[in-house]
Amino acid sequence: MLDPKLVRNEPESVASALAKKGFTLDVETIRSLEERRKSIQSKTEALQQERNQKSKGIGKAKAAGEDIEPLLKEVEHLKSELAAAEKELAEVQSEWDAMLDGVPNLPADDVPEGKSEEDNVELRRWGQVPGFDFPVKDHVDLGEALAQMDFELATKLAGSRFVVMQHQIAKLHRALIQFMLDIHIEEHGYREIYVPYLVNRDSMYGVGQLPKFEADLFKIQDEREFYLIPTAEAPVTNVLRDEIFQDANKLPLKFVCHSPCFRSEAGSYGKDTRGMIRQHQFEKVELVQFVRPEDSDAALESLTAHAETILQRLELPYRVVILCGGDLSFSSARTYDLEVWLPSQDKYREISSCSTFRDFQARRMKARFRNPETGKPELLHTLNGSGLAIGRTLVAIMENYQQEDGSIRVPEALRSYMGGLEVISKG
């Protein structure tokens, strides 16, 4: 959520900043809502004040043993008047809240202009794109030929956009999780956290998934309102929801969390239907940080570097792009995507997305810290990034490390996690 004061006081400048995201802010509606709010609020509060004072008077009179009948007459009219005013105020406020809920975060100043993915700007590249002197296969052909990856079986068990893995590929998949967790915990100073994979509505609202993006989520059919998490960001960021974090000197808080992720992928029919690129269920190691506002820009750079480390250790070529305004997500102020090289597609594909939300999520969640300088609560800044998406990393390894006979070399960095195995081959 944006700062309501900012939206109220400077709707034009907010609108022009949001234009970069391709969002049109209805300045006129804001103005008229704000005018109504002001008059109704002061009217309501005046009535409340009158009621409070007179009621206290009644209490005192009663205690003094006086006749309170005349006093009761005086407040008679207040009841209905106040009820009407309160109702109207509540309506205006909920209209305002609903409007504000749908307004995306402001993009950072350095976010490039642009409408879509096409307009993202490449910042840097790392590694050498491999050359092959044989026809490359994609991970589907490789995995099926090894008899260790089965999409048809997954369809039988569940439906499309799932996979079944077995044997060494399944082990490699698991090894990637351990490998990434270990590096982030031991080298980058993150704290491991295990969280629920079903969360409530408040948590989804806090990170900005709701109310706008309900269709992207799997909802549990039950009288309780549970959603399957689309990313560990949802439960982990909500750790500080409705809290005032007291030990400012313990900031930043850095959490790493492995979790499955569930996405309905509604509206992406026909997109990446082959293989493991876009699934209903996948694993991810997620990095989440809570920082003081002045530290969040630097934190995004270091968080991105932490994710990059994984690709470098795995010796996978990648590039870093900064998302343009039009491609930036609802809650994000700035996002760097890491894109890994996929030989079968002859291009870079997203494998991690690192974002700063500044105070946008924190305001929705009321996630604050006590600033020791002022003694007052202030909104935290939140960040997160994939470090990395496991399924896509597995795909990248299979494709970049493939050999002519269809076997796959195990990256050096993973061998200790694979019992020393050097090559994955049929068996």
Give the catalytic positions in this structure: 263, 278, 350, 353, 392
Is 84 a binding residue for RNA by CB under 7 A? The answer is no
Is 346 a binding residue for RNA by CB under 7 A? The answer is no
Is 94 a binding residue for RNA by CB under 7 A? The answer is no
Which residues 6+ apart lie within 8 Å of 135 measured at CB?
none
- Alpha carbons 7 and 134: distance in angstroms, whole number: 58
Is 251 a binding residue for RNA by CB under 7 A? The answer is no
Is 425 a binding residue for RNA by CB under 7 A? The answer is no
CA angle 302, 305, 306 (to 5 degrees): 90
Q: Which residue has the tokens 């100073």?
A: 189
Terminal Cα-to-Cα distance of the chain (whole angstroms): 53
Q: How far is the CB of 78 from RNA (least distance, A)?
A: 6
Nearer to RNA, 56 or 156 (CB): 56
- Alpha carbons 407 and 145: distance in angstroms, whole number: 9
E strand or H helix at 141, and its extent?
Answer: helix 139-145
Among candidate residues 139, 164, 168, 141, the one with its CA nearest the CA of residue 151: 164
Token couple for 31: 């103005």
Please classify residue 198 by burial: count the beta carbons closer than 10 Å to its beta carbon, then call 0-12 exposed, 13-18 middle and 19+ buried.
middle
Nearer to RNA, 254 or 368 (CB): 368
Identify the residue among 59, 102, 189, 196 touching RNA (CB under 7 A).
59
Q: How far is the CB of 223 from RNA (least distance, A)?
A: 6
Do 411 and 314 contact (CB within 8 A), yes or no? yes
Q: Which stretch binds RNA (CB under 7 A): 3-11, 157-165, 171-179, 282-290?
A: 3-11
Nearer to RNA, 4 or 211 (CB): 4
Q: Which stretch binds RNA (CB under 7 A): 20-28, 68-76, 171-179, 391-399?
A: 68-76
Identify the residue among 31, 35, 39, 56 touching RNA (CB under 7 A).
56
- Alpha carbons 349 and 277: distance in angstroms, whole number: 9
Determine phi and psi for 381, rounding to 5 degrees.
-110, 145
Is 98 a binding residue for RNA by CB under 7 A? The answer is no
Identify the residue among 29, 42, 160, 371 touching RNA (CB under 7 A).
42
C-alpha to C-alpha distances, 409 to 6, 78, 249, 393, 420, nearest whole angstrom: 55, 80, 45, 14, 12
Is 293 a binding residue for RNA by CB under 7 A? The answer is no
Identify the residue among 16, 29, 52, 371 touching RNA (CB under 7 A).
52
Is 224 a binding residue for RNA by CB under 7 A? The answer is yes
By CB under 7 A, the residues from 362 to 391 that bind RNA are: 368, 375-377
Q: Per-residue string for binding with RNA, 389-418, x by CB under 7 A?
A: ------------------------------
334 residue type, one letter: R
Determine the length of the chain: 427
Q: How many residues bind RNA, per CB under 7 A?
A: 35
Nearer to RNA, 318 or 369 (CB): 369
Nearer to RNA, 1 or 324 (CB): 1
DSSP class of 131: P
Q: Tell me whether strands 423-424 and 408-409 are parallel, antiparallel or unpaired.
A: antiparallel
Identify the residue among 78, 164, 170, 198 touching RNA (CB under 7 A).
78
C-alpha to C-alpha distances, 23 to 107, 108, 329, nearest whole angstrom: 11, 15, 12
Identify the residue among 27, 31, 39, 79 touching RNA (CB under 7 A).
79
Token couple for 251: 């900031």
Nearer to RNA, 189 or 196 (CB): 196
Q: How far is the CB of 230 from RNA (least distance, A)?
A: 21
Positions that interact with RNA (CB under 7 A): 4-5, 8, 38, 41-42, 44-46, 48-49, 51-56, 58-60, 62-63, 68, 72, 75, 78-79, 223-224, 244, 246, 368, 375-377
